[in-house]
Structure 1
Amino acid sequence: MKIKTIKEKIQNRIPGPTRIQHYYSVLVPLIEINGEIHLIYELRSQNLKTQPGEVSFPGGRIERGEEFSQAAVRECSEELLIPESKIELLGEADYLITPYNFIIYTFVGKINIDSLESIKVNNYEVEEIFTVPLKFFLNHQAEKYAAVLKSEFDQDFPYHLLPQGEKFNPRQGDYQIYFYRYQDRVIWGITAEITRSFIEIIKH
């Protein structure tokens, strides 16, 4: 291989993160209720294998050939049974790189329907929905707690290839976990982090 070939391969590509196994998109759905903006949240169905009963935004894995924003709108339409034409995409918020080797792309959209009661959810994926006024998040900081991420190696890990052998002490990382408490609802984890990030964007 020649330097010219290496240069062409590096120049003609879009850089991306390494180690990412899956890509997801979520939508932060906004709705106006009596002239006041609310965020819509889902309570995940007990039918789901991952995080049943947790609070989340509409979202899911990005399909092959699909734009990130298209995935967010599609997932919202499928989960809340709203026509895509009723979902007005307002823009893209920050994306989240998790410690679990996946990226979540976040979009914000306005749900253009007459009333919240007209939403009939996909019961296989969503148990129920609820809303939180935007002003609640503007006036309340998220609670923050620290978790420590530690490395655990397989039994056949080749310590003998390392200068320190089995005395090797891998780095640890801090991971902030956020919580919001609104009435009897608890919004936490990735959903709270996406909420917090969105609020920080619109406040500044």
Structure 2
Amino acid sequence: MMSSILTNDLLTALKSRERLTLHLPEYRHAAVLVGFTDEPNPRVLLTVRSLDLPSHQGQISFPGGKIEAGETIIEAALREAEEEVGLDPSQVKVHGLWDDTFTPQGFHVTPVIVTLPPDYPYTLTPEVAEILLVPVSDLQNLSPETLTREFKGRTHLIYTYPWQGHRIWGMTGRIIHGVLHPHLHPREY
């Protein structure tokens, strides 16, 4: 088990707090894999989306995508991670589901929290331009830029983490902020 304070807090929060779920039937339901390497200073698995994709080209994201008919949230996150970065589902330890979130493009997203082997041989696929393993300690030491956006009559916070020339923001930044601060109520981030 990982020994960092973040991951211990996160795993405790997964077990002890009520997960925020959303009911957005008009949105497409998707799952993302929020994977932390199982080592003293865990790293989080992120991808840089290919410039050849029809949307969100070059953006940083978690492996994930649409939940297919008959698939569970966990099965979808594992399938997408295998398709996008070659992650063998048998090498993953699933801990649970994090708070639902959404995108302005109409996706209702459920993050799946997992641990990963520290030195897994990931592979690039046509969907992924680059694989990033970002040290959690780096993210904890950053002060994210925040801004607000209006969407469907509500104000939402957007967190941007600048890391080694990359801009981690949007839904990915929001999920990262939530897992870095698991004690916050989901509506506070």
**Coarse TM-score class (shorter-chain normalised):** 0.7 to 0.9
TM-score normalised according to structure 2 size: 0.78
Match of residue 78 from structure 1? 83
- Count of aligned pairs: 165
- The structure with the larger Rg is 1
Query: How far is the alpha carbon of 1:26 from its aligned partner?
Result: 0.1
Match of residue 153 from structure 1? none
TM-score normalised according to structure 1 size: 0.72
Task: Report 1 or 2 for greater relative contact order, CA contacts < 8 Å, sequence distance ≥ 6.
Answer: 2
Mapped partners of 2:182, 2:156: distance in 1: 21
Q: 1:37 aligns with which of 42, 64, 85?
A: 42
Unaligned runs of 5+ in 2: 1-20
Q: 1:18 to 1:203 in 2, by over 3 A?
A: closer
Q: 1:202 to 1:135 in 2, by over 3 A?
A: farther
Match of residue 168 from structure 1? none
Listed one character per residue, the Cα deviations across residues 108-141 of structure 1 (whole Å, up to 9, x for unaligned) are: 111226x25x21121x110111121112233334
Structure 2 counterparts to residues 86-97 of structure 1, below 5 A: 86-97=91-102
Unaligned runs of 5+ in 1: 1-14, 151-171
Q: Which runs of 4+ in 1 moved over 4 A?
A: none
Match of residue 172 from structure 2? 191
Q: 1:18 to 1:185 in 2, by over 3 A?
A: closer
Aligned-pair identity in percent equals: 28
Is the Cα contact below 8 Å between 1:26 and 1:104 reproduced in 2? Answer: yes
Helix, strand or coil: the match of 1:94? coil
Listed one character per residue, the Cα deviations across residues 75-121 of structure 1 (whole Å, up to 9, x for unaligned) are: 111111121111221221111134444310001111226x25x2112
Mapped partners of 2:128, 2:99: distance in 1: 25
Q: 1:18 to 1:72 in 2, by over 3 A?
A: closer
Q: 1:201 aligns with which of 176, 182, 185?
A: 182
Mapped partners of 1:58, 1:68: distance in 2: 13
